[in-house]
Structure 1
Amino acid sequence: MKNVADLAGVGVKTVSRVINRERHVSEATIARVLQAAEQLQYQPDVHAGNLRRADRRTGTIGLLVGNVANPFSAAVHRAVEDAALERHIAVFASSLDDDADRERASIEAFLRRRVDGLILTTVHHSQAYLGGELEQGTPLVFVDRRPNGIVADTVLTNNAESAASAVGHLAEHGHTRIAYLGDNEEIFTAKERKRGYLEALRRRGITPDERLITDGLTDDAKTAVAVSDMLALDDPPTAIFSAQNLITIAVIVALRRVGLEHQIALVGFDDIPMADLLSPAVTVVAQDPSAMGRIAARRIFERLDGNTGPARDFVVPSRLIQRGSGEIRA
């Protein structure tokens, strides 16, 4: 706080008032203090009175997942918590909801509480703002999406290869009109899965049809419209590759609404609840989010235990689960 005060040209008490959002501080002074705090990467320590231990550890880690309502994120969350419990470490968790501002706010909240390490799923175009934390020795492990702007441990699936295997499976069943439905193309996983889709088509001499490719499907309504528009084409798709599990659920609803669930083949990326109980049961490329969570937790604990080796990628293989929807022939 003294460093911030010196840089801003104010007293330490003024810095305290600004950080704690107390009244009677001018807007100009607030701006100077906040600019100095950002320049020095200062974070107020809410546990300062309790940090008497020599290693300054708090026995906590921060976990940022995509969306706790998504079964994938929930499985990662549970695996990390189970691993942390064995070491008597508490987990602070937050949802990203694919919001870049929320990413920064959640991570800053973790850092204010002086967590010992961070396990992160991110969406911001760059994570360079965490470079200072890496330099200070804060362990960072990224899950599902590779960071930009820094090099850090990452646990992920080979998204492009897995997507290509799904599209190849549909092609092997005679399909050449294969639609792609994906979420925000700025997200690392979405980019990779679309890349795998396109590579699989080209590998088989199939020219991609832009009318069968839709990105940015962030809710059920958008997915329903996309499916409806594709089905209305003179040469509609005979198969659909859905690149995200919540989109897959919306596709199933849309196909059932028009009675085409047994005519149009479907392979989804990520498993969904009760996929084997539907008719037809849903074929998926299944990731292993529990394994991804366990590996991320193991890596963060290795770092906390003194491992200073170079950053690594940990690739967890997916598997194609054939249940029926992906085996409908063209």
Structure 2
Amino acid sequence: MEIGIDSFAAILPDPVTGQVPSATGRMAELIEEVELADRVGLEVFGIGEHHRGEFLDSAPTMILAAAAARTRQIKLTSAVTVLSAADPVRVFQEFATLDLISKGRAEIVVGRGSFVEAFPLFGFDTRDYDDLFAEKLDLLLALQESTNVTWEGRFRAPLRGQGVYPRPHTHHLPIWVGVGGTPQSFARAGALGLPLMVAIIGGGFDRFRPLVDLYREAGRRAGHDLKVLKIGIHAMGFVGETDAAARDAFFPGWAHLTASIGRERGWSPPTRQQFDAMAGPEGAFLVGDPSTVAAKMLQASDKLGGVSRITFQMSTAALDTTAMRRSIELLGNEVAPLVRGAQPTS
């Protein structure tokens, strides 16, 4: 199992003073977090894409390229690229360039996006939400296979064999599909034989098992080897010296962002009781001390029939820089060995 971190480059006000830290300082801290993750042996670091004031990740490949120059081994990926509102040619060029800078460590997780701000910002209609994604994924996969592509669709100018450069360091850029809870999305990824990244930000892991089974069955029916149908989990997570310390460090930022987004979507304000339930044995938050988190990761993998990757969305704790860095150290130095030691070697 690969273990890593996803960040949305959250920039949060101090819960006591309300003061927002500088964007420049927060960005510097984020690059240092990627460097630390690399040093402690984590396998992957992802940067999200949002176009909102709470986050600094509207240009994720820029952040990933800066991190590539200061790391040696860790894979660098999006989490996710909002492909529906992007030009697949430009996405391919940016990640191919990142792959050259990182000497083969670039990956892409593409998705439709859980926020809709990118659609009007770049001139797209949310009524075309799924059609945009399906068409653009088709083009992105074609660009992965060939330098000169002949292609035509509804939403961008056709390609008539023009060369798309640069080509990546690796022959194929790994492309994952990021999904939430839509059966169609799981089935599509399986039919295409693409690895799946499942965002599990609420409920329990077991409720996603029917959707994961749908993905695997769609892949089998399409003739894909089950070995290529990899499952990844993106989950809220944070590691502390104790369960209580981890929860106390993570809760304030999580509550602030959840409340902010909830006001837009008509959700009830989040409570500490709800948070503690999600961090408990049956919830999907990987928050606790190293042994608690490792056990829960193994439980999640078992419930989903085996997973290849788990990434922690821990950037809501970014206000406490010391706790954030310690969480990364604990994840790499203590959680990862516990998980790997419990898994079969073949």
- TM bracket, shorter-chain basis: under 0.3
TM-score computed with the length of structure 2 as normaliser: 0.25
TM-score computed with the length of structure 1 as normaliser: 0.26
